[in-house]
C-alpha cells in the first residue's frame, strides 16, 4: 500500500505543468496595460532612488577607503549589493513592464533571475554577518579588539562565494529560473517542487540556506543584544562620561543594523510566503494580480538602506554637536587649560566616529 501511495504521489508530481508550460507565450503580460505602466513607473522611481542613494554611499566611502573600519566595509558591501540589483536587474523589468511583455527571451530571463538571486542573497548574508558582528561586539567585548580589516575582507570573500554558489546551482541542472506568473519578470523556478522530488529537495535547500538559516541568525543576534542591553544599562551608568558616550554610540549603531535588517525582511517575507506557497501549496490558486504585489515590494528593498543611513547620520550629527556644546560648557566653568585640551580631544574623537553597521 505504501508503495502504491508513493507511486501515485510521484506520478501526480510528474503530471504537474507549471504556468510557463501551460501557455504558448509565457512572457506575455497577464496584467492590464494600465497596471503594467503603473508598475513600470513605480520601479523607475525605486530604481533611480536606489541607484543615487547607494551610489552616494559608495562614493563617500571611497573618499576615505583607507580609514574605513571593519563594520563600515560591511556597509559598503551592502550598498554594492543594492546598487547591483538596481543597475543590473531593474532596467530589464522596467522595459518589460512598459512593453507589456518580457522582451528579453529565455536567455535574458535566466540572467535576470540569476542577478536578482545573486545580489539578494549577497545582501541577506551580508546583513547576517553584520548582525553577528553587532552581537559579538556588544555581548563579547574582547571581539571588538580582535577584529581587523583583513578579517573583514576574508568574510566578504566568503559572502560573495556563498552567493555565487547558490545563484549558479540552478544552471547545474538541479534547478532553473523561470518567468513569474504575470509574465513580465523572472525568478527562481519555485514550481519545480510541484514536478519532482528532486525539485522539492532543491527548493528546500534554497529556502534553508538562503532564507531561514540567515534569518534565524539575525533574529538570534538581535534578541541576545536586546537582553544584554537591558542587563547592562545600570552597570554603564556607573562608568565615566566617555565610556557612556561610547556605549550610546554602539547602541545607535546596533539600532541602525536592526532597522536595515527589519526593512529587508519586511520587503522580502511576503514574496517568500508566495514563493513557498507556489512550491508546496496550490500555485494556481494565487491570483496573478496578487502575485505581482510581493514582487514589487521585494524590489523596493534596495532603496531603504541609504535613507536609513542619512536619517541616522543626521541624528548623529546632532548628538556630536550636543556633545561638543557640553564639553565647551565644562571648559568655561572650570576655566582650565587642561579641560580645554581635553574637550578639544574629546570633540575630535566624537567627530571622527562614523556610523558603522
Mean of pLDDT over the chain:
79
Whether residue 265 lies inside any domain: the answer is: yes
- Buried b / exposed e across 109-142, counting CB within 10 Å, b at 16+? bbbbbbbbbbbbbbbbbbbbbbbbbbbbbbeeee
Cβ-proximal residues to 169 (8 Å cutoff; 6+ apart), any chain: 175, 202
Residues 68-94 have pLDDT tens digits of: 877 788 888 999 999 999 998 899 999
Domain that holds residue 97: 33-232+248-320
For residue 257, what pLDDT is reported?
77
Residues 262-276 have pLDDT tens digits of: 888 888 999 999 999
Residues 32-81 have pLDDT tens digits of: 999 999 999 999 999 999 999 999 989 988 888 888 877 788 888 999 99
State the cell numbers at 38: 503603473
d(CA 190, CA 295): 14
Most confident of 96-105, 134-143, 235-244: 96-105
CA distances from 128 to 31, 209, 215, 299 (A): 36, 12, 7, 19
- Pick 356 or 121 by higher pLDDT: 121
Whether residue 1 lies inside any domain: the answer is: no
CA 78 to chain centre: 7
Whether residue 115 lies inside any domain: the answer is: yes
Query: DSSP for 34-97?
Result: HHHHHHHHHHHHHHHHHHHHHHHHHHHHHTTGGG--HHHHHHHHHHHHHHHIIIIIHHHHHHHH
- Pick 314 or 63 by higher pLDDT: 63
Q: Is 280 left (phi over 0), alpha (psi -120 to 50) or beta?
A: alpha
Strand blocks (E) in the chain: 177-179, 186-188
> For residue 294, which of 263, 262, 269 has the smallest C-alpha distance?
269
Helix 337-352 vs helix 301-334: angle between axes, to the nearest 10 degrees? 180
Whether residue 19 lies inside any domain: the answer is: no
Q: What does residue 182 show for φ and ψ, rounded to 5 degrees? A: -85, -5
Whether residue 51 lies inside any domain: the answer is: yes
Q: Among 8-22, 131-145, 178-192, name the one with the lowest average pLDDT.
A: 8-22
Name the burial class of residue 56, with classes exposed (0-12), middle (13-18) and buried (19+) by CB atoms within 10 angstroms of its CB.
Answer: middle
Instruction: Measure CA of the first residue to CA of the last residue in the chain; give whole Å.
Output: 57
Whether residue 48 lies inside any domain: the answer is: yes
Whether residue 350 lies inside any domain: the answer is: no
Which CATH number covers residue 93? 1.20.1070.10
> 331, 339 in Cβ contact below 8 A?
yes
d(CA 135, CA 155): 16
Kindly report the number of other CB atoms within 10 A of residue 259's CB atom: 18
State the cell numbers at 197: 522530488
Whether residue 28 lies inside any domain: the answer is: no
Radius of gyration of the chain (CA): 24
**Domain tally for the chain?**
1
State the cell numbers at 254: 546596533
CA 51 to chain centre: 15
Task: Give 48's Cβ-side CA count (13 Å radius).
Answer: 5
At residue 142, does pLDDT exceed 80? no
Amino acid at each position: 500500500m505504501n508503495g502504491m501511495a508513493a507511486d501515485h504521489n510521484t506520478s501526480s508530481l510528474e503530471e504537474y505543468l507549471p504556468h510557463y508550460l501551460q501557455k504558448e507565450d509565457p512572457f506575455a503580460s497577464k496584467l492590464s496595460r494600465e497596471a503594467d505602466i503603473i508598475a513600470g513607473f513605480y520601479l523607475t522611481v525605486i530604481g533611480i532612488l536606489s541607484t543615487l542613494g547607494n551610489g552616494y554611499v559608495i562614493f563617500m566611502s571611497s573618499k576615505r577607503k583607507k580609514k574605513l573600519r571593519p563594520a563600515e566595509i560591511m556597509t559598503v558591501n551592502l550598498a554594492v549589493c543594492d546598487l547591483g540589483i538596481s543597475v543590473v536587474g531593474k532596467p530589464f523589468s522596467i522595459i518589460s513592464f512598459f512593453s507589456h511583455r518580457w522582451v528579453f527571451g529565455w536567455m535574458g530571463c535566466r540572467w535576470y533571475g540569476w542577478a536578482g538571486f545573486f545580489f539578494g542573497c549577497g545582501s541577506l548574508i551580508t546583513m547576517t554577518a553584520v548582525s553577528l558582528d553587532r552581537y559579538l561586539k556588544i555581548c563579547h567585548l574582547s571581539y571588538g579588539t580582535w577584529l581587523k580589516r583583513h578579517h573583514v575582507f576574508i568574510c566578504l570573500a566568503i559572502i560573495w562565494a556563498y552567493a555565487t554558489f547558490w545563484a549558479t546551482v540552478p544552471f547545474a541542472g538541479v534547478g532553473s529560473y523561470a518567468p513569474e506568473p504575470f509574465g513580465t519578470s523572472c525568478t527562481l523556478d519555485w514550481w519545480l517542487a510541484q514536478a519532482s522530488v528532486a525539485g522539492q529537495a532543491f527548493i528546500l535547500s534554497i529556502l534553508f540556506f538562503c532564507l531561514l538559516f540567515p534569518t534565524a541568525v539575525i533574529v538570534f543576534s538581535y534578541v541576545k543584544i536586546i537582553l544584554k542591553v537591558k542587563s547592562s544599562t545600570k552597570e554603564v551608568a556607573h562608568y565615566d562620561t566617555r565610556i557612556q558616550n561610547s556605549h550610546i554610540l554602539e547602541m545607535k549603531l546596533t539600532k541602525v543594523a536592526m532597522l536595515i535588517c527589519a526593512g529587508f525582511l519586511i520587503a522580502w517575507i511576503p514574496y517568500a510566503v508566495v514563493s513557498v506557497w507556489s512550491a508546496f501549496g496550490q500555485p494556481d490558486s494565487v491570483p496573478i494580480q496578487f502575485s505581482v504585489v510581493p514582487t514589487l515590494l521585494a524590489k523596493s528593498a534596495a532603496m531603504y538602506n541609504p535613507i536609513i543611513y542619512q536619517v541616522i547620520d543626521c541624528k548623529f550629527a546632532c548628538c556630536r554637536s550636543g556633545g561638543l556644546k557640553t564639553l565647551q560648557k565644562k571648559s568655561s566653568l572650570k576655566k582650565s587649560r587642561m579641560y580645554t585640551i581635553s574637550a578639544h580631544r574629546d570633540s575630535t574623537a566624537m567627530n571622527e566616529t562614523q556610523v558603522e553597521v
